[in-house]
Amino acid sequence: MGMSWARVSAKVHKWLALLMAIQILFWFVSGLFFAIAPIETVRSEHRIAQLPVQPVSLDAAAAGLARVAASGAAGADKIELRSLMGEPVALITSGEQRPRLYDLSTGQRISPIPASMAVAIAERDHDGDERAARVSEVTENTTEYRGSLPAWRIDFEDGASRALYVAADTGAVTARRSTLWRTFDFLWALHIMDFKNHEDFNTPLLIISTALALIVIITGIIMFPSRFGYHGWRKRRLARREAKAAEAGA
């Protein structure tokens, strides 16, 4: 019975391993890459400029919000005080409407921000001497960027093909991409088998492939004793016991 199971397992193991070999290789290679590459470096967090915090006094904030109200700004569900390019601003959100950004110094709305301001924000955020090489508008989500829209993409020629994304409605840097990140994202797509959006790790393809890989492992464990002569060793051991018993009986 054991040998029968071993033979069945050997056939299943051989053909499933052949079928799953490439994907299992992808899992190991991508997993090794994920373990080696520091996630902070992948996200370009080590290239974020350390800028001093610009505090805003309550009196200045109140006066600024009064100027915003005087400019005819609509009501808000939420108001956030922020610093943009070293200047105090207010980010106002209301229901499902797009966020609105106001300069507290003038009370005027400054969003959606123009390309020139997005470039200045990106260069200020980027820790390096490189200047922006290109700027382009982003109006649709892609596999590289799935953040707030519309946005500006600012490319730097720093040897890493680095690109910063700045949300047009908030002026915030919402994503940092580089060659390392794109490699990570490509391997992540192979790892989770979501080749379209690179983010869903509950796909039927991944579930089925993982189940098949598990069967490969289980059948390999079942094969292990027969491949290493366990059954033959057990038979020889039993034969020696029987021989000793026969000698003792004689």
pLDDT, residue 2, reads: 46
- Is 59 within a domain? yes
- Is 235 within a domain? no
Q: Is the pLDDT of residue 250 over 60?
A: no
- Under the banding of pLDDT at 50, 70 and 90, the label for residue 247 is low
- Is 63 within a domain? yes
* Domain count of the fold of the chain: 1
194-205 pLDDT, tens per residue? Answer: 988 888 888 899
150-185 pLDDT, tens per residue? Answer: 999 999 998 899 999 999 999 999 999 999 999 999
pLDDT, residue 249, reads: 60
Q: Look at residue 31 and give its three-state secondary structure.
A: helix
* pTM of the predicted model over 0.85: no
- Is 245 within a domain? no
- Is 78 within a domain? yes
**Arithmetic mean of pLDDT, 99-119:** 95
Residue 182 CB-density burial (10 A; 0-12 exposed, 13-18 middle, 19+ buried): middle
70: domain range? Answer: 51-112+120-126
Exposure string over 110-139, b if 16+ CB within 10 A, otherwise e: bbbbeeebbbbbbbebbeeebebeebeebe
- Is 210 within a domain? no
- Under the banding of pLDDT at 50, 70 and 90, the label for residue 117 is very high
- Is 92 within a domain? yes
- Is 26 within a domain? no
32-53 pLDDT, tens per residue? Answer: 999 999 999 999 999 999 988 7
Amino acid making up residue 153: R
Choice among 101-105, 147-151, 197-201, 242-246 with the minimum mean pLDDT: 242-246
